[in-house]
Chains A and B, each alone.
Chain A
Amino acid sequence: MPGPESPPGRVGSDAGGFRLSNNAKEFRVEAWGYWTPEVISAFRRLSPVAARKLSALGAFVFDAKELKPQGIDGQEALRELFRMMAALPFTKGSVFAENALARMQLTRLVRDAGLAERVGFE
């Protein structure tokens, strides 16, 4: 849950959340843990707004090093973002994932969104 003690742009808790940062050069999503319904709802609301600010010359970075495999609703929120990114122009896309099962989940979602050719896994 967003709270007054949360650092700017940080949504959720240590157990699960995300942070969005964007400028003309980069749209960065940092995601961690397992998402609650509140975090999922916030991600669905905030991520499209942040993604639209990315210019055609910018990069899309999804830092999921600490993200756990998500349930159905969390996957759907990520799928929506990846589908939106597939329709946006950007120069380079990168996904960072360390949890092997989460990495497979993201690989599948990226592939299904038609982003596999534009996003590399680091």
Chain B
Amino acid sequence: MGLADEEAAAKVFHAFYEALDDLIQSKPLTKMESIWLHAAHVSSAHPFGGWARGWDEVWATWQEGAAVFNCYKGHAERSEPIGGIHDLKVSVCGDIAIGTSIYKSTLYMSEGPIALKVNCTNIVQRDQGAWKIIHHHTDQAPPDWQAAIGRMVQRGHS
């Protein structure tokens, strides 16, 4: 039961970052939308921006993230994922599981590649037998990374 729960939760944490990769690569947001519990107690904080609390706010940040990265074309010719998690540790406590990990990514901009390495915490809740994300928190990205993303949005292309 314990190990099976840990493995099931870990699968969801990895799936979450696959959904994030889809979002950055302008693929449909269906995976990201379905992996979350759509409830008032969910929350998120990304490498840029502040807290989003409640599903409406959380979903707005993912939609905006998709809009931001809609102009990113640095992976158009690449097959490797943009990023992924490392050193994942999962702790299960009843119907809640906490995953701590390190997210690493590389974006290929016209001004050169930019790498990101941040600590992240994700929490899932078992809802009707399925683990769903209820919390996502990532360290704030360094200012130069945020500035590079801001410049991409301003000029409308990566």
Contact = CB atoms under 8 A, between A and B. Distances in A.
Contact of B49 (A70, A101, A111): A101
B57 A101 contact: no
Q: For chain A, which range describes its interface: under 10, 10 to 19, 20 to 34, or 35 or more residues?
A: 10 to 19
Interface in B50-97: 50, 52, 54, 56-57, 59-61, 63-65, 67-68
Interface in A51-110: 68-72, 74, 99-105, 107-108
Contacts of A100: 48-49, 146, 150
A104 B150 contact: yes
A70 B56 CA distance: 9
Contact of B59 (A71, A102, A108, A111): A71
Given A104-B64, A104-B153, A99 B49 contact: yes
A88 B22 CA distance: 40
A103 to B, nearest CB: 7
Interface string B124-151: 0000000000000000000000100110
A101 B65 contact: yes
Q: For chain B, which range describes its interface: under 10, 10 to 19, 20 to 34, or 35 or more residues?
A: 20 to 34
Interface in B86-128: none
Contacts of A70: 60
Q: Which of A69, A71, A74 has most B Cβ within 10 Å?
A: A69
Contacts of B59: 71
B61 A69 contact: yes
B68 A71 contact: no
A72 B62 CA distance: 11
B46 interface: yes
Interface of A: 34, 68-72, 74, 99-105, 107-108, 111, 116
Interface of B: 46, 48-50, 52, 54, 56-57, 59-61, 63-65, 67-68, 146, 149-150, 153-154, 156
13 contacts: A34-B56, A34-B57, A69-B49, A69-B57, A100-B146, A101-B48, A101-B49, A101-B50, A101-B64, A104-B64, A108-B67, A111-B153, A116-B154
